[in-house]
Amino acid sequence: MKKDSKDIGRIVFFKYIGITILLLSGMVILSIIISPDLDKYFERNFINPYLNEPIYFSAQIVIDIIIAYIVAGKIGESIIENNKTPFLTTFIGFLKLWFGILIVAMFSELIPRLIEYGINLEQIGLVVLMWLLMGGPIFIIIGAAQGGLTGWFIGREIEKRKTHYNN
């Protein structure tokens, strides 16, 4: 089965994201082993909220994975078919990904509040403005850091696979 440019981009992207998740999980497990207080903190702030509202958090995770799937396809297409710069394309792709994660977080927080308290356009505007001003810079910094750290590797591997794609 022949892979197109979007599939190549997705395979490489999710390979590196998987490696990142494995490294972060290993660091968290090692930290928990070293510090018992961190175990309580991790359980209280990460595990218990998910167990209390699994549908809420699972929906966010699924939507974020869909966004990553779309962005990774666009990265592969831009590098292979449109001959864009690999690092810059991947870096901008990570910024788009983290902006999408920001939007998902914002609306997943906003929608339950609208259901609970009713629709008020002034409140919606205020919440969106607060999320963009307070959360936007943090998500952009995280996206820039991740794009800067992994963008070169992902872009370079997609560029290498470009010759196989063209043959």
Which helix (H) or strand (E) segment is 22 a member of? helix 5-34
pLDDT at 59 over 70: yes
pTM of the model: 0.84
Residue 58, CA distances (Å) to 54, 63, 96, 156 in order: 6, 9, 21, 32
Domain tally for the chain?
A: 1
CB 106 within 8 A of CB 131: yes
Percent of the chain with pLDDT over 90: 35
Tell me which residue range forms the domain holding 140.
Answer: 5-166
Residue 112, CA distances (Å) to 45, 66, 106 in order: 20, 21, 11
For the stretch 106-150, pLDDT in tens is 988 888 888 888 888 888 888 888 888 998 899 999 999 988 888
The per-residue DSSP string of 59-95 comes to: HHHHHHHHHHHHHHHHHHHHHHTS---HHHHHHHHHH
pLDDT at 162 over 80: no
Residue environment code for 17-41, b if the CB has 16+ CB neighbours within 10 A, otherwise e:
beeeeeeeeeeeeeebeeeeeeeee
